[in-house]
């Protein structure tokens, strides 16, 4: 039996998407592939809420975010990198890697794990430094199941003469709203194995007009070949890619986005279902007296501390006994959460009955005295019955 995946990436992939992966390979320089890719590009624009290009880049979400950080940083400038979890810390590390090559000053704003990015500190840093070329911030910090108010940060950024806002939307895009153009996000990145409902292997980079202008104006030696976004933007204008693309994943992404964009309630329906599932899950865990790890919970993943005396072994036994694969905690500079927490994803091929099964397994394993109350809280958490 295959495990039900409740990990926040990779996620369970719907069967029609898996089936597409098994189709014979088509060549990428054919009208058949180009028609699919052109349509995928339109789907991605709809998903990202932008009229700008959304690039599809082979690799992990990290590859794509690195490309954005690297290509949008102005040499000699200041960059702001905001971290309250493992992924924000990764983007800080990436600026550190390129700082000596691009003469960057990397100002790191660190906030407590489980809290959203601090608007006041970001505003102060933007006010203090007029040479900020980019700010890297996480919309949904997967390691802490925490959402940050990107719209507010975008407003701050718009008051700065040069700062481009680069948003890690890896566990937000497709799960809850992050409209690039409406909010004024300059660059939005996600990965395939999250709310995009695909296996890992593709990343996406959406670029707004200011980001495109920044790329156009590059007159320095960029230390990148494959990740030089100018190549990708140029090819994208012809619905093409500069290097052989993962044709199977591209075709499957086209099918997965059809499920999202043409499913019940379309994109708003998908957001509503994710939000509803997250809210009901939080209600259940809280009814069971489990403490959430976040003061600003993300709707794509929910995290809670283990009850006293229980560690990752409990999570393993849930997997073995119930086939529900939950995620554990991760260690970073700001916190050590391995063995301390569990996380349950609301992305991919999950639904209320499956999530209820996972919660039932958790509550049984933790021998929760509130087992029945918690499941009732889950059931009542939906406007429509689960």
Binding residues for its own copies (CB under 8 A): 2-3, 5, 7, 9-13, 18-19, 21-28, 30, 58-63, 66, 93-94, 97-98, 100-101, 191, 193, 199-201, 221-226, 228, 243-249, 325
Tokens of 85: 């979890």
Query: Parallel, antiparallel, or unpaired: how do β-strands 164-168 and 132-138 relate?
Result: parallel
Q: Which is nearer to its own copies, 122 or 252 (CB)?
A: 252
- In angstroms, what is the minimal distance from the CB of 115 to its own copies? 25
- In angstroms, what is the minimal distance from the CB of 231 to its own copies? 11
- In angstroms, what is the minimal distance from the CB of 220 to its own copies? 9
Q: Which is nearer to its own copies, 225 or 238 (CB)?
A: 225
Q: Which is nearer to its own copies, 83 or 288 (CB)?
A: 83
What is the torsional sign of CA 107, 113, 116, 120?
negative
- In angstroms, what is the minimal distance from the CB of 25 to its own copies? 5
- In angstroms, what is the minimal distance from the CB of 227 to its own copies? 8
Q: Which is nearer to its own copies, 160 or 194 (CB)?
A: 194
Q: Which is nearer to its own copies, 60 or 74 (CB)?
A: 60
Question: How far apart are the C-alpha atoms of 244 and 241, rounded to whole Å?
Answer: 7
- In angstroms, what is the minimal distance from the CB of 10 to its own copies? 5
Radius of gyration, CA atoms only, the chain: 21
Q: Which is nearer to its own copies, 21 or 310 (CB)?
A: 21
- In angstroms, what is the minimal distance from the CB of 351 to its own copies? 15
Helix (H) or strand (E) holding 236: helix 229-236
Report CA-CA distances (Å) from 157 to 55, 122, 301, 329.
23, 9, 27, 32
Cα angle 252, 212, 51; round to 5: 55
Question: How far apart are the C-alpha atoms of 384 and 386, rounded to whole Å?
Answer: 6
Instruction: Single out the residue of 219, 169, 209, 208 nearest to residue 347, CA to CA.
Output: 169
Q: Which is nearer to its own copies, 20 or 378 (CB)?
A: 20
> Phi and psi for 381 in degrees, rounded to 5?
-75, -10
Report CA-CA distances (Å) from 173 to 179, 235, 379.
9, 23, 26
């Amino acid at each position: 039996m295959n495990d039900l995946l409740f990990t926040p990436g990779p996620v369970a992939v719907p069967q029609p998407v898996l089936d597409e992966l098994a189709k014979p390979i088509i060549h990428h320089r054919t009208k058949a592939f180009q028609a699919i890719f052109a349509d995928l590009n339109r789907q991605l624009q709809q998903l990202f809420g932008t009229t700008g290009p959304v690039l599809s880049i082979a690799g992990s979400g990290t590859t794509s975010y690195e490309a954005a950080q690297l290509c949008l940083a102005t040499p000699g400038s200041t960059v702001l990198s905001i971290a309250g979890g493992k992924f924000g810390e990764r983007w800080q590390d990436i600026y550190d890697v390129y700082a000596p090559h691009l003469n960057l000053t990397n100002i790191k704003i660190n906030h407590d794990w489980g809290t959203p990015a601090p608007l006041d500190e970001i505003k102060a840093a933007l006010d203090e430094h007029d040479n900020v070329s980019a700010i890297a911030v996480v919309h949904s910090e997967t390691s802490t199941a925490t959402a940050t108010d990107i719209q507010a940060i975008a407003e701050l950024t718009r008051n700065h003469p040069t700062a481009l806002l680069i948003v890690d939307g890896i566990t937000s895009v497709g799960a809850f709203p992050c409209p690039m153009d409406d909010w004024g996000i300059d660059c939005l990145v996600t990965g395939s194995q999250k709310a995009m409902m695909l296996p890992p292997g593709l990343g996406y980079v959406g670029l707004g007009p200011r980001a495109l202008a920044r790329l156009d104006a590059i007159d320095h030696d960029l230390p990148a070949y494959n990740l030089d976004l100018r190549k990708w933007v140029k090819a994208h204008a012809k619905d093409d890619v500069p290097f052989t693309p993962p044709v199977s994943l591209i075709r499957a992404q086209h099918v997965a986005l059809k499920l999202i964009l043409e499913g019940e309630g379309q994109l708003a329906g998908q957001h509503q279902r994710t939000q509803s599932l997250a809210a009901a899950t939080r209600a259940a865990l809280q009814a069971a007296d489990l403490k959430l790890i976040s003061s600003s919970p993300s709707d794509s993943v929910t995290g809670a501390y283990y009850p006293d005396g229980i560690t990752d072994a409990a999570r393993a036994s849930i997997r073995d006994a119930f086939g529900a694969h939950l995620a554990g905690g991760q260690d970073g500079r700001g916190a050590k959460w391995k063995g301390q927490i569990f996380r349950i994803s609301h992305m991919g091929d999950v639904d209320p009955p499956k999530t209820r099964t996972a919660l039932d397994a958790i509550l049984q394993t933790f021998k929760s005295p509130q087992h029945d109350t918690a499941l009732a809280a889950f059931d009542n958490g939906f406007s429509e019955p689960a």
